[in-house]
Structure 1
Amino acid sequence: MPDTQPDQPAGPTPALPTIGILGAGKVGTVLSRLLLAAGHPVLISGSGDPAKIALIIDVLAPGAVPMTSEEVAREADIVILALPLGKYRTIPADALAGKLVIDAMNYWWEIDGHRADLSDPRTSTSELIQSFLPASRVVKAFNHMGYHDLDEGPRPEGAPGRKAIGIAGDDAPDLAAAAALVNAAGFDPVPVGTLRDSILLEPGSELFGANLPAEGVQDAAARFPETERGREVAAARADEDAA
């Protein structure tokens, strides 16, 4: 008779990383819902006392845990920045040391004011965030798709018509971790380059505001150098290199 062995009991399912979100606005609450639905514990902070956002979170992202920004930064495994870019200096940098930080922020002069440091074509805003968080590892993701499309567009992996989100970073393992989050949220991750290249995901680019499948994101990223914004960025960086 064949030698049969009883099935071995399955081991415990590895816990998914706890996601922290700094910013309880439209993008922050949408990302909270998507990642909660994927099984991630989610911690979220607003601009002050967690009690101020508790009711909003109960309605818009039930299951997310309101905390202070410092607590979110310390307790989460991966932290997503979803606050106004002009407030980046309020980010608790020390608490984020050693952590992967996903930069989903954009420069809006209507909100942030006219800021040369946030609109300089020689530097992507994610490079600016990386310089402010020297002990963290920054990846750009979740910034170029409108929050309505984020909210309404997630589909299972492999589903026809699934939309894509561009990601950019300098470290392959961190890009892989960010890609896993994008996939968990319901979108195809598309690497588009380094943090320096992430400027092609910012306002003024063809991809900003785009709601495209993976091939469309890849094509738009490839066209960036030939666009008006791409030429502007290239000229500014060439002048910097020549100085």
Structure 2
Amino acid sequence: MNTVGIIGAGEVGSNIARALISIGYNVVVANSRGPETLRQLIQSLGPSARAATAAEAAEAGDFVVIAVPLKLANDMPVMELAGKIVLDTNNYMSWRDGNYPMIDSGERTVYELRQEHLPTSKVVQAFTHIQAPRITNAGLPRGARRRLAFPISSNFPEAIELVAALFDRLGYDTVDNSPLRESWKTAPGQPAWRDLNHQNRDELIENISKAQRFVLR
């Protein structure tokens, strides 16, 4: 695997692209406005990056990063994402995404909804607990006491394995909080979210254990 499709070219998507290029990946980047609007970004990323449509990025990637809000789910290239591991970077923010009653009621998590929108893909929560500019520069060697840790969640063990290995190469630890229905434990407002800037693996495990479910009515 050496090519990653990235759908979303904002702060999150562009910083993930830089991080992946730094460890040897090629990236194919798409946004909602068309490849011609990405010239400046692609130039800054260098020869390991190229611009494409969302469908082209999905088809080209050995795995794919989605760095756009859930509200744009209808714009996802479902067919081209079929069978692929899809890293979902989204955190549910009602002020941005609008209200999703199934999430607010606790019936579904945001990643379960993404999985339902992409029924033939293998969705995994990833890159949700780090500020975008830090993705490229906050990594530490394996075993470092203050190495940051991030939650990952999926219904597919192979997706967890891929993302855990990817984060390790980037200098981060992970905590498997699978399956997707358990991902509410790291959602905004939970202890794991409040400490996202500085928690190591042991601290993240403890914070996940402190999660309390609350329902918006």
Q: Indicate whether the TM-score tops 0.5.
A: yes
Percent same amino acid at aligned positions?
A: 31
Matched to 1:202, the amino acid is: A
The match for 1:74 is: 59
The match for 2:203 is: 216
Distance in 1 between residues matched to 2:193 and 2:81, nearest whole Å: 27
CA 1:34 to 1:214, structure 2 compared with 1: closer, same or farther past 3 Å?
A: same
Matched to 2:203, the amino acid is: G
The match for 2:213 is: 231
Number of aligned positions between the proteins: 214
Deviation string for 1:158-181 (max 9, x for gaps)? 334211111111222221011112
Structural RMSD (CA): 2.0
Deviation string for 1:126-170 (max 9, x for gaps)? 100111111111111111222233243122333342111111112
Matched to 2:154, the amino acid is: G
Assess if the C-alpha contact under 8 Å between 2:103 and 2:110 holds in 1. Answer: yes
Distance in 1 between residues matched to 2:159 and 2:98, nearest whole Å: 32
Gaps (5+ residues) in structure 1? Answer: 1-15, 225-229, 237-243
Distance in 2 between residues matched to 1:119 and 1:149, nearest whole Å: 29
Give the TM-score taking structure 1 as reference length. 0.81
The match for 2:10 is: 25
Q: Which residues in structure 2 correspond to 1:116-127 (within 5 Å)?
A: 116-127=101-112
Distance in 2 between residues matched to 1:151 and 1:119, nearest whole Å: 33
Q: Does 1:112 align with 2:115?
A: no
Q: Does 1:83 align with 2:48?
A: no
Matched to 2:214, the amino acid is: E
Distance in 1 between residues matched to 2:68 and 2:5, nearest whole Å: 12
- SS of residue matched to 1:111: helix
Runs of 4+ that moved beyond 4 A: none
Distance in 1 between residues matched to 2:8 and 2:102, nearest whole Å: 21
Matched to 1:215, the amino acid is: D
Q: Which residues in structure 2 correspond to 1:127-206 (within 5 Å)?
A: 127-206=112-191
Assess if the C-alpha contact under 8 Å between 1:143 and 1:201 holds in 2. Answer: no
Distance in 2 between residues matched to 1:216 and 1:90, nearest whole Å: 37
Matched to 2:168, the amino acid is: N
- Displacement after TM superposition at 1:48 (Å): 2.4
Distance in 2 between residues matched to 1:57 and 1:141, nearest whole Å: 23
- Displacement after TM superposition at 1:118 (Å): 4.9
- Displacement after TM superposition at 1:92 (Å): 0.5
- Displacement after TM superposition at 1:109 (Å): 2.7
Q: Highest CA radius of gyration, 1 or 2?
A: 1
